[in-house]
Structure 1
């Protein structure tokens, strides 16, 4: 068991327990659960769990966003839940066809994203060295042994993509993974490739001889037991192997039902390979190849119609697609084009989006006054520079809304610039700053790299500039000068903002308060409809509905006073505020008046939690032991 055992236990408990888990995978930042019943999962508890950024539901998956250390958390969750991460139910998904397709694609590609990124970076490094060689820095050419070695290392995963996908897709669909590897390897076998079949026929029949057979209107150069055989090129292909594996999984399931257990170990794989691969080569492969070619042609047609429009739309919406996992509908097409054609522009317009997001967070760092949120910015910036933006999105920009929109605008501007300059990727996998090497051609032409660097600058300047110029953090106060004796303060006393009956926090009817998720404090059942300032400080937040007020003291304590339960639905009726956001207040100043009887007549409770929302900054929060309390009586003592 690793160091995230406690977090893993909380996650498993709050997704409904191990019995509620069908399968589990992870990507760069997220645990991706397939749950039997998502209603058993406690979304809000998970969102407020230390170590969890947020929770998302998309593509038939229950996604728990963790951050860059997700592999370690994943391992501990597997151990706690007693699961291997592999399940024959893994490919089952609730929801529509589109959700199921996204789930399948993400489940097949996520397990090897790290290796794919590493290979892409090696290919990019190799191209960079060729470029530097053309400048005369040293002798490095595409015919040198150094180049050949690095090219083999970086290119292997792309050339034998069907083998890798054969393994991951087999795990996704519940097929024997070793059989999946054999399926992928067979698709890479040299003599069954379309070019090899055509070359053999041409050698025998002559260069001008027409193909003797046809299937689906395509030329076929061989027959398999009388059936015309279209020899497509599957080496480096992406999508056909996934569909063949899906078909093979169904053959395996049927074979297990009819083959005696004692011989299943070898007879079932025998039947699977004997049935699935010929049908894959004869029918599934050609059909899927045609469809994927049409889809790629559609993207190419849109780009040809208006590269600028394509770049703007994709750059603007890319981070939104990432949030919902819908980027997996596009990524495989880009990988396919790179592996088959050696280049692709499908994802070019998205390159600046992660840097736009990162620049926005950098600007927010300079403007945030909430030290807890501010502390999240540096790691999110570092993560964003390496192409992983989920911590920035979920933890910082999306909750604030406007900065997230600024990042979308900056992504659109950079996408426009990249597409009008026709920047082309010659490899895939490099993320973030390493992605610039994707745009160096194999012969060392670095034009695309220089343009991508300019695009990074554009995304950064636009995102940073918009945030600095137009965003204000309205939920926090402006900078304050602490008193000279601030360093000597060892405790802070909060007087009661209300008169009434004092109760422990765990008696609150709202479980978010009762469980201390929002912080430590007490509940007051008021007998007088008046809230006064419990310390000298500033009004941090005055909700438009006037039912809640956030304060920060001159010494940094953050306090939430929430008048009543569900009283937000009153839309401010029966409440009157006497201060506004940003006002300085002194202890005892009147903040809000409210009509207790009218609120009760409307069907709402007036129980009022008083919460120290930054409780973690204190060693202890000591509550008063009084049963009845008056305003200005000591209510809480925070120990520093």
Structure 2
């Protein structure tokens, strides 16, 4: 690890890992919560190479690192053995908006298993393909073993989700697995096939349910929980809360076995009696609702999902659709939602192929080849963020072509039968259990049309060589051209202050960059430059932008406002986005932040200050979009 020694020195001088309750990081600093701050060697840390300074605020011991703090944080977590399962500054994620909390929950549960989930689906898809073209016999041992490899994860999916969901909800992951094991226990699953029901509940309604067993006289509605999604997630949510309750009230001497025992004894019967049936009905209704929308107009649904899928990915909104698709696979055996986005990677590949062929810029050509290959295999981020978005028109043509391809998928009735990979690896997922039909053929036609259309539009109308300075060069997830002089405007309305006069020592010293501070008079932050959002902290209180000319701008709203955990801040962009000068980036409730006891003084600094001569504005008051800084390359 590049920062392993620095991490060891930091941990040793905050009092050792046994003195650390938790560690997270914000955009520039490590934020420790220490058991005893007196054990920390503050003077040693301040003079340590790699450390800018040390600050104490709001119950946190802050070791200021600079822009590379995420890499140092990873080393600190690895060296110290701290828990990094939760996102950075995880506490903020739990208290953001309801929508953000939902997206964070879904991504936290499904992200750890997506790779193996896609791999299993690909194996099932290829197995079906081999049978369809006569390579394998459906009665043969080879088919059966391959089918077991591909099907095992889906059958026991609740067990994996029990682990990841409990981990996400802050419970013991193995408890979640045991709950799921009980749900798919073979003896219970076999009961409905062993005899007549005792009686029937909700007869004559859509929820009609035969009852075969009772639990202390309470009717138990037995459902099929193998391959289910929602029941185990809800069960894990309540189990985590129940476990925390017992951990508080049970004496330490017997806590190790009594906490899990009481948790299981309560949550598993509750799941069978209440949570499971309700969640199963909800998942069935969800599946039927998506199919109903699809049936209204498959063509419109395909155009919408295909055309906006990459936009959804940029904003993280795709996490709201992925579990719906998985739920459809598990509840009814097929899904149109994830099928309709199939063309997007091929459309992007077509656009990048046109850029690669036509560009005269060596940097763009070098980046295009690997981006093209990754797009074909369904990995779109390098092509999208590195080439298509910076050049704009290729991205627009990709969306148009993907929308047309999605409409064609809807027209042909293409649906997925397994959760497979993306790009070319998704093709076998279109094979019906009955063999090859228009679901697969239509998908291939749509993919070819999407690729060719995006290629033609980009090649002839993409304006690829209109400006030879347009080409991107690699710099993390951002793109820059050769450095040039630029004017940075004010992102806020307010009063200008000298950076040295503000209360935050890290910014006041100039160690984090050269610039000025602004005391805002309005709760709106606008883009001070045109460029790419290189960093947007989850709490939305700080944003970094890399300009087209290479200057790295950091705007930090308020002092220690990270402790508000995202409250009172609303972002209108996301990391990796292209923004234009004057665009609204963040809104914040200035009065509420002040009432919470936080200063609103906002530093605006150039973090790669040593690459530039920086001239500061001479003004007391300033309006948004007034000139603020001039940067001239050295």
Task: State the TM bucket, normalised to the shorter chain.
Answer: 0.5 to 0.7
Q: Tell whether the 8 Å contact from 1:315 to 1:350 is kept in structure 2 after alignment.
A: yes
Say yes or no: does 1:298 pair with 2:289: yes
Q: Distance in 1 between matches of 2:286 and 2:30?
A: 41
C-alpha distance 563-213 of structure 1, shift in aligned 2 (>3 A)? closer
Q: Distance in 2 between matches of 1:428 and 1:311?
A: 18
Residues 352-367 of structure 1: matches in 2 within 5 Å? 352-367=343-358
Residue 126 of structure 1 deviates from its aligned partner by: 0.7
Residues 91-240 of structure 1: matches in 2 within 5 Å? 93-133=94-134, 138=135, 140-193=136-189, 196-202=190-196, 211=200, 217-221=207-211, 222-240=213-231
- Structure 1, 417-426 or 12-21: larger mean CA deviation: 12-21
Q: Distance in 2 between matches of 1:5 and 1:403?
A: 44
C-alpha distance 12-213 of structure 1, shift in aligned 2 (>3 A)? closer
Q: Tell whether the 8 Å contact from 1:91 to 1:104 is kept in structure 2 after alignment.
A: no
Residues 126-525 of structure 1: matches in 2 within 5 Å? 126-133=127-134, 138=135, 140-193=136-189, 196-202=190-196, 211=200, 217-221=207-211, 222-445=213-436, 447-473=438-464, 476-477=467-468, 509=515
Residue 94 of structure 1 deviates from its aligned partner by: 2.5
Residues 565-584 of structure 1: matches in 2 within 5 Å? none
User: Per-residue CA shift, 1:498-517, capped at 9, x if unaligned?
Assistant: xxxxxxxx99647999x998
Q: Distance in 1 between matches of 2:163 and 2:192?
A: 29
C-alpha distance 565-351 of structure 1, shift in aligned 2 (>3 A)? farther
Q: Distance in 2 between matches of 1:384 and 1:565?
A: 45
Residue 83 of structure 1 deviates from its aligned partner by: 3.0
Residue 442 of structure 1 deviates from its aligned partner by: 3.6
SS for the counterpart of 2:133 is: helix
- Structure 1, 170-179 or 468-477: larger mean CA deviation: 468-477
SS for the counterpart of 2:85 is: coil
Q: Tell whether the 8 Å contact from 1:316 to 1:409 is kept in structure 2 after alignment.
A: yes
Residue 520 of structure 1 deviates from its aligned partner by: 9.2
Residue 288 of structure 1 deviates from its aligned partner by: 1.8
Residue 197 of structure 1 deviates from its aligned partner by: 4.0
C-alpha distance 294-604 of structure 1, shift in aligned 2 (>3 A)? closer
TM-score, with length taken from structure 1: 0.64
SS for the counterpart of 2:420 is: coil
Q: Distance in 2 between matches of 1:16 and 1:375?
A: 35
Q: Distance in 1 between matches of 2:461 and 2:613?
A: 30
Q: Tell whether the 8 Å contact from 2:303 to 2:407 is kept in structure 1 after alignment.
A: yes
Q: Tell whether the 8 Å contact from 1:348 to 1:419 is kept in structure 2 after alignment.
A: no
Residue 90 of structure 1 deviates from its aligned partner by: 7.1
Residue 458 of structure 1 deviates from its aligned partner by: 1.1
Q: Tell whether the 8 Å contact from 1:113 to 1:429 is kept in structure 2 after alignment.
A: no
User: Per-residue CA shift, 1:165-210, capped at 9, x if unaligned?
Assistant: 01111111111111111011111112334xx4433343x77xxxx6
Q: Distance in 2 between matches of 1:450 and 1:437?
A: 11
Q: Tell whether the 8 Å contact from 1:12 to 1:81 is kept in structure 2 after alignment.
A: no
Q: Distance in 2 between matches of 1:364 and 1:347?
A: 28
SS for the counterpart of 1:428 is: coil
C-alpha distance 566-443 of structure 1, shift in aligned 2 (>3 A)? farther
Residue 4 of structure 1 deviates from its aligned partner by: 10
Residue 560 of structure 1 deviates from its aligned partner by: 11
The aligned residue for residue 79 of structure 1 is 78
Residue 12 of structure 1 deviates from its aligned partner by: 5.6
SS for the counterpart of 2:219 is: strand
C-alpha distance 313-251 of structure 1, shift in aligned 2 (>3 A)? same
Q: Distance in 1 between matches of 2:273 and 2:445?
A: 47
Q: Distance in 2 between matches of 1:73 and 1:294?
A: 46
- Structure 1, 441-450 or 299-308: larger mean CA deviation: 441-450
SS for the counterpart of 2:209 is: strand
Q: Distance in 1 between matches of 2:618 and 2:410?
A: 50
Q: Distance in 1 between matches of 2:423 and 2:155?
A: 24
Residue 467 of structure 1 deviates from its aligned partner by: 1.3
Q: Distance in 1 between matches of 2:145 and 2:407?
A: 37
Q: Distance in 2 between matches of 1:368 and 1:563?
A: 36
C-alpha distance 191-98 of structure 1, shift in aligned 2 (>3 A)? farther
C-alpha distance 510-354 of structure 1, shift in aligned 2 (>3 A)? farther
Q: Distance in 1 between matches of 2:402 and 2:5?
A: 38
Q: Distance in 1 between matches of 2:98 and 2:92?
A: 12
Q: Distance in 2 between matches of 1:399 and 1:332?
A: 31
Q: Tell whether the 8 Å contact from 1:105 to 1:329 is kept in structure 2 after alignment.
A: yes
C-alpha distance 507-443 of structure 1, shift in aligned 2 (>3 A)? closer
The aligned residue for residue 30 of structure 2 is 17
Residue 408 of structure 1 deviates from its aligned partner by: 1.1
Q: Tell whether the 8 Å contact from 2:93 to 2:100 is kept in structure 1 after alignment.
A: no
Residue 447 of structure 1 deviates from its aligned partner by: 4.3
C-alpha distance 299-267 of structure 1, shift in aligned 2 (>3 A)? same
Q: Tell whether the 8 Å contact from 2:161 to 2:232 is kept in structure 1 after alignment.
A: yes
Q: Tell whether the 8 Å contact from 2:207 to 2:281 is kept in structure 1 after alignment.
A: no
C-alpha distance 213-441 of structure 1, shift in aligned 2 (>3 A)? closer
Residue 74 of structure 1 deviates from its aligned partner by: 10
Residue 368 of structure 1 deviates from its aligned partner by: 3.9
Residue 561 of structure 1 deviates from its aligned partner by: 11
SS for the counterpart of 1:94 is: coil
Q: Distance in 1 between matches of 2:375 and 2:268?
A: 42
The aligned residue for residue 507 of structure 2 is none
Instruction: Give the superposed CA RMSD.
Output: 4.6
C-alpha distance 469-258 of structure 1, shift in aligned 2 (>3 A)? same
